[in-house]
Amino acid sequence: MNLELKKAIDQISKDKGLDRDMLVKTLEDAVRTSVLRRYSEDMDLEVTFNEETGDIDVYQFKIVVEDDDVANEDTQIELSEAREHDPSVQLDDEMGFRVEVKDLGRIAAQSAKQVIIQRMRDAEQGLIYEEYIERKGEIVSGTIQRRDKGGWVINLGRTEAILPKEEQIPREHYKRNDRVQALILDVRREGRGPQVVVSRSHRDYMAALFRREVPEVDDGTVQIMGVSRDPGSRAKVAVLSREREVDPVGACVGVRGSRIQNIVQELRGERIDIVVWSADIATYAKNALAPAVVSRIVVDEEENLLEVIVPDDQLTNAIGRKGQNVKLAARLLGWKVDIFTETRYNEANAIGHGLEQVASVAEVSIESLLAAGFQTLDSLRQASDEELERSLSLSANRIADLRSAINFLAPVVEKTPEPSTVSLKIEKEEEQASTEAPAADVTDVVEEQE
């Protein structure tokens, strides 16, 4: 009895987590392949694993034909020879003959071993792929193994993961055997086995950390509506409570900040602002721009634009260091954002109103004035009659009317203080967050006038 083979199959199935029936079938297929390769591809074989003895039974089947009518000895047998084995056999009957596996020889045995190993490896990789593809979006923990050209290789136990450079937190350094956590971002099928890609900089990683640290988020009482991150520096997380008695900010912060501190420590000190989500975009924007105080917000739904007006002394808070506060807010909101001080906004409206009046008096469109380069009353006043006639095709009477209107309006806008404001134009990001609220990338153009 060859019980060692049976024990080996049982042990491999247990250690590798592989299906035992699959291993037995793989073994049978490997033996069949080896026999055919050793003798003839034409042979009709049946290979079975004997569970009682642990042996592999191999049988070759042949069709009984007339004497001297054998066309292929691998598949046919003469009637007279067949009756030496079974006197009752008839023509066209099928007879089975046992093939001794021990006669396969060293090469056949080695071939069978290689097939078995490869099939086991393929099956194991298939199980690993199925396991990790189902865990996509979960946090995993592992140890740093080595540096790879694409990033760091992390040992997860049953397999390895890659932490690409672009998915690392900036200025975060690792060394061999460091313990690290990351989010499963993707699982790819590759020739050498499943490739697990993880991330520490993705916004979904922060959302997953909140689900792990805050029970109210995990059970759905508090819902994360959006996340925007500047990895390693600052982040904004929008939350909404599904129950009136539950404070979403307090639940996420925890007693004495215990919950939020666990997340901050995991992200190496990344500052996190908890923002209360609102269906009203103006209210949501005010919350997202905290700690800045917002005077009012003008909503332009057609342009998907928010004009945010803040007190003059709140401009720095609204913008943030290197525009970080308003960039993160715009990503969270999914809107374009313009920031104005109250002084700058009022001046811009006054100038615009003055241009409209002058254009009406001169009977030209304000678009024509702007296209000719006249964007302020002062620029119109300084232009000569010839320039006005040439640029706007005005008669002498219309030019006189225009100058009268400018002189009438000049006291309103003549002494325009130099603006000390910053207008940021935030462009919507194309990539949408996998959390429930959209997040947009931000391209900020900062024009600062001393």
CATH of the domain at 263: 3.30.300.20
Structural domain contains residue 248: yes
Strand 94-99 versus strand 56-65 pairing type:
antiparallel
For residues 36 and 123, membership in a common domain is answered with: yes
DSSP-derived 3-state class of residue 402: helix
As a whole number of angstroms, the distance between CA 426 and CA 446 comes to: 10
> What is the domain range of residue 196?
136-201
Give the per-residue pLDDT at 39.
80
Give the per-residue pLDDT at 420.
38
Within 10 A of 394 (CB to CB), how many other CB atoms are there?
18
Give the per-residue pLDDT at 373.
78
As a whole number of angstroms, the distance between CA 217 and CA 224 comes to: 7
Instruction: Name the domain boundary from 201, 228, 254.
Output: 201
Domain count, the chain: 4
Beta bridge partners of 308: 297, 339
Contacts by residues 153-160 (CB-CB < 8 Å, ≥ 24 positions apart): 154/180, 154/182, 154/198, 156/196, 158/128, 158/131, 159/128, 159/132, 159/193, 159/194, 159/196, 160/196
Rounded to two decimals, the pTM is: 0.62
Structural domain contains residue 194: yes
For residues 8 and 120, membership in a common domain is answered with: yes
Give the per-residue pLDDT at 433.
36
Task: List average pLDDT for each run of 10 residues in the chain, which is 450 residues long.
Answer: 68 75 80 80 86 82 89 88 89 87 56 68 84 92 89 90 92 90 91 87 95 94 95 94 93 93 92 94 94 90 91 91 92 92 73 70 76 77 85 84 75 41 41 36 32
Give the per-residue pLDDT at 401.
82
For residues 214 and 239, membership in a common domain is answered with: yes
C-alpha distances (whole Å) from 46 to each of 3, 21, 43, 55, 104 are 21, 17, 10, 14, 15
CATH of the domain at 197: 2.40.50.140
CATH of the domain at 384: 1.10.150
For residues 179 and 232, membership in a common domain is answered with: no
For residues 7 and 125, membership in a common domain is answered with: yes
Structural domain contains residue 432: no
As a whole number of angstroms, the distance between CA 29 and CA 19 comes to: 16
Element (H, E) at 369: helix 366-371
Q: Which residues contact 98 (CB under 8 A, 6 or more apart)?
A: 57, 58, 59, 60
Q: Which residues contact 82 (CB under 8 A, 6 or more apart)?
A: 62, 64, 89, 93, 95
End-to-end CA distance of the chain: 94
